[in-house]
Amino acid sequence: MEFDHVAQQVPDIAEAIEWQRSTVPGTTVLHQDPTWGLVESGGVKIAFVLPEQHPPHLAFRVDAEELERLADAHGAEIATHRDATRSIYLVGPGSLQTEIIQYPEATT
């Protein structure tokens, strides 16, 4: 398991990404559409999400086997996202949300 990203809720994805790019030198936009964005700043990935679509959260990357194991252990249903990633959300003390995410295997 390794850290993948932190997600912050914002009301406007484009505005948040532009602010990040103009404030933190070297910010790279990895994905942007009207509903979510992903940037890398200072070696950290930050997802900007809309409040009605995703909770603020920390995300950790795992392989498919570990995702299945954790989903079973926590009684969580695995969701498949439009970018083919699969994940579960776990809620901890104080409503802290943690996403456990698995990226699709690379094809050759």
Q: CATH number of the domain at 14, please.
A: 3.10.180.10
* Residue 66 lies inside a defined structural domain of this protein: yes
Is residue 30 one of the residues assigned to a domain?
yes
Is residue 61 situated within a structural domain?
Answer: yes
Q: Given pLDDT bands bounded at 50, 70 and 90, which one contains residue 47?
A: very high
pLDDT higher than threshold 70 for residue 24: yes
pTM to 2 decimals? 0.86
Cβ-based neighbours of 99, under 8 Å, separated by 6 or more = 4, 7, 57, 58, 59, 60, 87, 88, 89, 90
Q: Assess if residue 22 is contained within a domain.
A: yes
Q: Is residue 108 part of a domain?
A: no
Residue 79 lies in a domain: yes
Number of domains observed in the structure of the chain:
1
Percent of all residues in the chain with a pLDDT value above 70, rounded to a whole number = 97
Residue 107 in any domain: the answer is no
